[in-house]
Structure 1
Amino acid sequence: MDAVSPARRDHFKPSVASGAGQRRRKLAVALSKERRDAAVRAKRMRRSQDVEDGMEMYCEGDEDSRIALENDVKSAVAELVSASQDISKGASNRKLEALKKVRRFLSCSSLPPVSVAVEAGLIPVLVECLKFGSSEEQLLEASWCLTNIAVEDVQQQEDLLMPVPLLIAHLGENSSLLVAEQCAWALGNFAGDSEEIRKILLAQGSLRPLARLALSQKTSVARTACWALSNLIKGPSTKGASDLLSIDGILPGLVQHLHSKDEDLVAETAWVLVYISALADTKQLINATLLRPLVEWLATSNQLTVLTPVLRVIGNIVCGDNKMSDGVIAAGSTVPGGVVGALVRCLQTNHRALQKEAAWVISNLAAGSMQHKEHVFPVACGPLVNLLATASFDVKKEAVYALGNLCVMPKEATAAQTASQPIHAHLSALAQSGCVAEFVNLVKSPDPEGSKLGLQFLELVMRCLQNGTKLVEGCDGMLAIEMLHFHENDELRNMANHLLDTYFGSELEEEEEEHA
Structure 2
Amino acid sequence: MSYFEKKLKRRQGKFKKKSTPSNSRDKRVEHTIKLSKNKRDERLMKRRNLGKSGQRIRTSNSNKEITNYVPTLDELPTLVENVKSNDLETVHKSTQLIRKMISVEEDPPVYAVLQTRIIPTFVEFLQKEDDPFLQFESSWIISNICSGNHDECEYVVDLGIVPIFNQLLHIEDPDILEQSCWALGNISGDCVEYRDLILGQNRIIDNLINVIQNPFSNLDIIQNANWCLSNLCRGKPRPPFNKVKKAIPVFANLIKKNEKQLRIDSTWGLSYLSSGDDLNINSVIEAGIIPRMVQFLNFKSPKIQTPALRVLGNIVTGNFEQTEKVLETDVLEKLIPLIGHHRDQIKRESCWVLSNITAGRQNQIQKVINSGIIPKLVDMMQNCNKVIKQEACWVLSNGVYGGNIQQIVYFVEQNCLKEFIYFLKYNGTRILKICLEAIERILQVGEIQAELTGEQNPVVQMIENLNGTEGIEKLIEHENKVIYKLAGKIWDEYLDQEESSSSDDDDDDHDDHDDHDEDDDENSDENQYDNGNNDSNYLQDNDQEQQLGVNNNLYEF
Question: How many angstroms apart in 1 are the aligned matches of 2:409 and 2:38?
Answer: 39
CA contact (8 A) 2:145 2:153 kept: no
Instruction: Provide closer, same or farther for how the CA distance between residues 385 and 214 of structure 1 changes in structure 2, counting only shifts above 3 A.
Output: farther
* 1:370 corresponds to: 362
Matches within 5 A, 1:39-78: 40-49=43-52, 53-54=68-69, 69=73, 71-78=74-81
Q: Which of 404, 425, 431 matches 2:397?
A: 404
Check conservation: 1:39, 1:305, Cα contact below 8 A: no
* Counterparts of 1:201 and 1:46, CA distance in 2: 21
Counterpart AA for 2:390: K
Distance 1:238 1:39 in 2: 18
Residue 341 (structure 1) shift: 1.3
Q: Does 1:449 align with 2:448?
A: no
Long gaps (5+) in structure 1: 1-8, 59-67, 333-337, 410-421, 510-516
Matched, 1:361 2:373: no
Please tell me whether residue 34 in structure 1 is matched to residue 38 in structure 2: yes
- Whole-angstrom CA distance in 1 between matches of 2:475 and 2:231: 45
Q: CA deviation at 1:152?
A: 2.1
Give the distance between the partners of 1:396 and 1:101, measured in 2 at CA.
54
Describe how 1:63-102 pairs up with structure 2 within 5 A: 69=73, 71-80=74-83, 82-83=84-85, 86=86, 91-102=87-98
Give yes or no for the alignment of 1:393 onto 2:389.
Answer: no
Q: Distance in 1 between matches of 2:364 and 2:442?
A: 22
Q: 2:253 aligns with which of 250, 253, 256?
A: 256
What's 1:413 paired with?
Answer: none
Residue 92 (structure 1) shift? 2.8
State the Cα distance separating 1:182 from its structure 2 match. 1.4
Cα offset for 1:216? 5.0
Residue 475 (structure 1) aligns with: 466
8 Å CA contact 1:74–1:116 kept in 2: the answer is no
Q: What is the match of residue 145 of structure 2? A: 149
Identity of aligned residues (%): 23
Partner amino acid, structure 2, of 1:187? L
Larger RCO of the pair (alpha carbons < 8 Å, separation 6+): 2
Provide the C-alpha distance between the structure 2 equivalents of 1:191 and 1:104, rounded to a whole number of angstroms: 24
What corresponds to 1:319 in structure 2?
Answer: 317
Cα RMSD between the aligned structures?
2.9
Kindly provide the amino acid, as one letter, of the partner of residue 487 in structure 1: H
How far has the Cα of 1:160 moved from its partner?
1.0
Counterpart among 172, 177, 190 of residue 175 in structure 1 = 172
Structure-2 residue corresponding to 1:224: 224
Contact (CA 8 Å) 1:365, 1:372: kept in 2 or not?
yes
Verify the 8 A CA contact 2:401 2:437 in the aligned structure 1: no
Q: How does 1:224-303 map to 2 (within 5 A)?
A: 224-245=224-245, 247=246, 250-279=247-276, 281-298=280-297, 300-303=298-301
Counterpart-to-counterpart distance in 2, 1:498 and 1:187: 57
d(CA) in 1 for partners of 2:386 and 2:169? 46
Q: Per the alignment, in what secondary structure is the counterpart of residue 446 of structure 1? A: coil
Post-superposition offset of 1:153: 2.7
Contact kept in structure 2, 1:227 and 1:271, CA below 8 Å: no
On the 8 A contact 2:476/2:488 being kept in 1, the answer is yes
**2:303, 2:327 → 1: CA distance?**
23
Name the CA shift for 1:240/1:170 in 2 (closer, same or farther; >3 Å).
farther
1:350 match? 342
How many Å apart are 1:184 and its aligned residue? 0.9
Q: Which amino acid aligns with 2:331?
A: V
Match of 2:182 in 1: 185
Question: CA shift at 1:53, angstroms?
Answer: 4.5
Deviation, structure 1 residue 215: 3.6
Q: Cα–Cα, structure 1 residues 503 and 454, in superposed 2: closer, same or farther, change >3 Å?
A: same
Q: Is the 8 A contact 2:101 2:109 kept in 1?
A: yes
CA distance in 1, matches of 2:345, 2:220: 28
Q: CA deviation at 1:101?
A: 0.6
Q: 1: distance between equivalents of 2:425 and 2:465? A: 15
C-alpha displacement at 1:169, in angstroms? 1.2
1:415 aligned partner: none
5 Å-filtered alignment, 1:10-25, equals 11=23, 13-14=25-26, 20=29, 23=30
Name the residue aligned to 1:435. Answer: 416
Q: Secondary structure at the match of 1:281?
A: helix
* Aligned partner of residue 282 in structure 1, secondary structure: helix
Partner in structure 2 of residue 417 of structure 1: none
- 1:214 and 1:314 map into 2 onto residues whose CA distance is 25
| Separation in structure 1 between the aligned mates of residue 167 and residue 316 of structure 2, nearest angstrom | 39
Q: Which amino acid aligns with 2:234?
A: K
Counterpart residue identity of residue 151, structure 1: S
- 1:39 Cα deviation after fit: 6.3
Find the aligned partners of 1:198 and 1:444 in 2 and give their Cα distance. Answer: 44
Q: Provide Cα deviations, 1:290-336, integer angstroms capped at 9, x if missing partner.
A: 111111112x2111110111111111112111221122223x2xxxx
